[in-house]
Amino acid sequence: MLQLPPLSLYIHIPWCIQKCPYCDFNSHAVKQGIPEQEYIAHLLADLDLDLEYVQGRTLHSIFIGGGTPSVFSAEGIAAILDGVQSRIAFAADIEITMEANPGTVEAERFAGYVKAGVSRFSIGVQSFQNDKLTRLGRIHQGAEASNAAQLATALLTNSPLKSFNLDLMHGLPEQSIDDALSDLQQAIALQPPHLSWYQLTIEPNTAFASKPPVLPEDDILWDIQEQGHALLTAAGYQQYETSAYAKVGFQCRHNLNYWRFGDYLGIGCGAHGKITLPEHGHIVRTVKVKHPKGYMDLSKAYLDSATPVPSDELPFEYFMNRFRLLETCSIAEFTAYTGLPAATVEPILVKAMQLGLVNQQDQHYQITPHGVRYLNDLLQMFL
């Protein structure tokens, strides 16, 4: 019998000022203004159609992503959150994260977003070096990124804001080890409670894919990761996920729910959802209509597809998420959240232990540093 996991909500706002060449997210550059009020109405109508999936649960977390959600007004964000809360009960300690651009105009709105209900910001810094920001197609400069982080820090002591994250990339075009570590040192100096630090990858159907930049060689990338990890650890950050570090107690609850194979509703253009249906004995992946024009066309449904996950794909799906986390996971949780017996994966886990990719303590399994380095090889074993 499948067990209902915690429930989160992802809200997608697809517009941004300009499309970055590395970005493969569903985002659209603003050309003729943003239909904010119209889109909000559609978001809430979309949510109405998904309410059957709530199944009596409260919302554990909300993540407003994009695009650049901070192109919406504080009043617009308040209307969205008020509309959600009128439909689904919030957990007493709900975490509400909003992605934000560090440009000055958006930064000045931070206090308004907090008043609207946002309790956590994820600020898309990527780099503090202006030449690298230009190469990445970002519209802000390094000084604006620092200012946004300082404003968020001030709000931690003077408002209901609970935390903020700085999003930082490494392995940038023609980036040296010194460049990468300098970015990281500047981020650490701003003392964010949470740091997402991930390597740039070239994704299909992006501008970088059609005209690839020169990226650092693998040996340099590995040195950046090792030395950067040492810097972060020395500064009091704990790595809890493949690309995420946090001070104690400041892990991103929304992302933890993803990686722990929790459920989440997805509303907005191209938003993905994952829903457990115990009465049907399966898990469903949902995808909403991708393009804003099609999404807001009242003659069409918001849902693009709802696909049950085949039982033989569930081990891969589960561990693809679970082994992003460095914490232990129990075989009992695997059974509860997939409905599959432990025997389905125990031979694979034994083989993974023999290869030094996973450790076992009682009925709990944990990815090893060797497993983190060869994560793709580990996950292939579950296919």
Structural domain boundaries, residue 207: 7-257
Instruction: Indicate whether 15 and 120 sit together in one domain.
Output: yes
Strand partners, 47: none
Look at residue 267 and tell me if it is in a domain: no
Domain count for the chain, please give it: 2
Nearest to 182 by CA among 234, 142, 150: 142
Instruction: Indicate whether 316 and 204 sit together in one domain.
Output: no
Contact in structure between 123 and 149 (CB atoms under 8 Å): yes
Instruction: Indicate whether 173 and 42 sit together in one domain.
Output: yes
Say if residue 74's pLDDT is above 80.
Answer: yes
Label the pairing between strands 329-330 and 364-367: antiparallel
Look at residue 265 and tell me if it is in a domain: no
Over residues 143-201, the pLDDT tens digits come to: 999 999 999 999 999 899 999 999 999 999 989 999 999 999 999 999 999 999 999 98
Domain end call among 241, 257, 273: 257
The predicted pLDDT at position 242 comes to 92
Instruction: Indicate whether 230 and 341 sit together in one domain.
Output: no
The predicted pLDDT at position 208 comes to 84
Instruction: Indicate whether 209 and 325 sit together in one domain.
Output: no
Domain end call among 228, 257, 286: 257
Over residues 308-345, the pLDDT tens digits come to: 999 999 999 999 999 999 999 999 999 999 999 999 99
Instruction: Indicate whether 241 and 352 sit together in one domain.
Output: no
The predicted pLDDT at position 263 comes to 98
Instruction: Indicate whether 228 and 345 sit together in one domain.
Output: no
Instruction: Indicate whether 132 and 44 sit together in one domain.
Output: yes
Taking the C-alpha atoms of residue 369 and residue 372, their distance in angstroms, rounded to an integer, is 5
Taking the C-alpha atoms of residue 232 and residue 222, their distance in angstroms, rounded to an integer, is 15
What CATH number does residue 339 fall under? 1.10.10.10
The predicted pLDDT at position 176 comes to 95
The predicted pLDDT at position 123 comes to 95
Look at residue 13 and tell me if it is in a domain: yes
The predicted pLDDT at position 104 comes to 57
Instruction: Indicate whether 215 and 336 sit together in one domain.
Output: no
Instruction: Indicate whether 331 and 244 sit together in one domain.
Output: no
Nearest to 355 by CA among 379, 319, 324: 379
pLDDT classification of 212: cutoffs 50, 70, 90: confident
CA angle 212, 214, 217 (to 5 degrees): 125
Look at residue 277 and tell me if it is in a domain: no
pLDDT classification of 287: cutoffs 50, 70, 90: very high
Residue ranges with strand state E in the chain: 7-13, 15-16, 28-29, 59-66, 90-100, 120-126, 163-170, 194-199, 238-241, 244-246, 263-267, 272-277, 282-288, 303-308, 329-330, 358-361, 364-367
Instruction: Indicate whether 250 and 369 sit together in one domain.
Output: no
Over residues 222-240, the pLDDT tens digits come to: 999 999 999 999 999 999 9
What CATH number does residue 117 fall under? 3.20.20.70
Domain end call among 257, 274, 302: 257
Q: Which two tokens stand for residue 356?
A: 């030094």
Look at residue 367 and tell me if it is in a domain: yes
Look at residue 26 and tell me if it is in a domain: yes
The predicted pLDDT at position 138 comes to 87
Strand partners, 95: 61
The predicted pLDDT at position 106 comes to 67
Look at residue 278 and tell me if it is in a domain: no
What residue has token string 């040996």? 219
Taking the C-alpha atoms of residue 166 and residue 149, their distance in angstroms, rounded to an integer, is 8
The mean pLDDT value for 206-212 works out to 83
Most confident of 105-109, 198-202, 366-370: 366-370
Mean pLDDT check: name the lowest of 81-95, 296-310, 317-331.
296-310
Instruction: Indicate whether 349 and 222 sit together in one domain.
Output: no
Torsion angle of C-alpha atoms 164, 75, 68, 298, degrees rounded to 10: 140
Mean pLDDT check: name the lowest of 21-25, 65-69, 118-122, 205-209.
21-25
Look at residue 273 and tell me if it is in a domain: no
The predicted pLDDT at position 136 comes to 87
